[in-house]
Amino acid sequence: MTHAAAAPVVQVLSVNVGLATPLSVGTRRVLSGIGKRPVAGPVAVGTLGLAGDEQADPSLHGGRDKAVYAYPVAHYTFWQAQRRAHGVSLFDEALPPGFVGENLTIDGLSEAQLWIGDELHFGPLVLRVTEPRQPCFKFAAVMGYPDAPRDMLPGSRCGFYLAVAQTGTLTAGQTGVLVPGRRALPLVEAFAAKRARLAR
């Protein structure tokens, strides 16, 4: 008798929100919502994202298909090492949750396990994987060195956007399960294709 494999479990380590504020990019100041901070207690998740969260450029971030951005905590050690190698950080201090601009800092799930259309179920809340994140100049500004977007490609350290298929709430420490979708396009292939198009 065979048994079906257990559905992967994802844990939300931190729920992060932030308002759009000025960000220094070289000699310029631009508006950005990349600065996220952890919040305590249940956070309402509506069709356009988390309560108390803002995006400065809805054409690139936010909207129904990119309402929530999740990022695996496993990548944080890589970014800590890169920042130190580029002289941005003098010490190997841990980066705080939300540093990459993510709404959800997660554990137990990586980009390689996901396909476009997969769902994450947190009780009544259902989040659907829609696309990988494409890093921009604001990401480089936060990381502190210009090649940071390029460094996201090896290992597909992109994180992923989620649409809210069913509204609810999220709390740090909460766990959810991965429910497979149609499985037509792996997330890492979608990320590679997007990067290849931009490189032309």
pLDDT digits (tens, 9 = 90+) for 73-128: 999 999 999 999 999 977 777 899 999 999 999 999 999 999 999 999 999 999 99
- Give residue 9's pLDDT band: very low, low, confident or very high (50, 70, 90): very high
Per the domain annotation, does 151 fall within a domain?
Answer: yes
Kindly report the CATH number assigned to the domain that includes residue 55: 2.40.33.20
Per the domain annotation, does 200 fall within a domain?
Answer: no
State the DSSP string of 87-143: TS-SS-PPPPTTTTS-SEEEES--GGG-BTT-EEEETTEEEEEEEE----HHHHHHH
pLDDT at 135: 87
Among all chains, which residue has been given the structure tokens 């494999």?
5
Integer angstrom CA distances of residue 153 from 23, 40, 111, 158, 193? 24, 32, 12, 7, 11
pLDDT at 200: 53
* Cα 156 to Cα 185: distance, rounded to the nearest angstrom: 15
Per the domain annotation, does 177 fall within a domain?
Answer: yes
* Cα 158 to Cα 100: distance, rounded to the nearest angstrom: 10
Answering whether pTM is above 0.75, one says yes
Per the domain annotation, does 1 fall within a domain?
Answer: no
- pLDDT digits over 131-188, tens only? 999 888 999 999 999 999 999 988 899 999 999 999 999 999 999 999 999 999 999 9
- Distinct helix (H) and strand (E) counts, the chain: 4, 13
- Give residue 19's pLDDT band: very low, low, confident or very high (50, 70, 90): very high
pLDDT at 177: 98
Per the domain annotation, does 79 fall within a domain?
Answer: yes
pLDDT at 42: 98
Per the domain annotation, does 114 fall within a domain?
Answer: yes
- Cα dihedral sign, 107-112-113-118: positive
pLDDT at 2: 56
Say how many domains are in the chain: 1
Per the domain annotation, does 2 fall within a domain?
Answer: no
Per the domain annotation, does 44 fall within a domain?
Answer: yes
41 has pLDDT over 60: yes
Residue type for 175, please? T
Boundaries of domain holding 126:
9-195
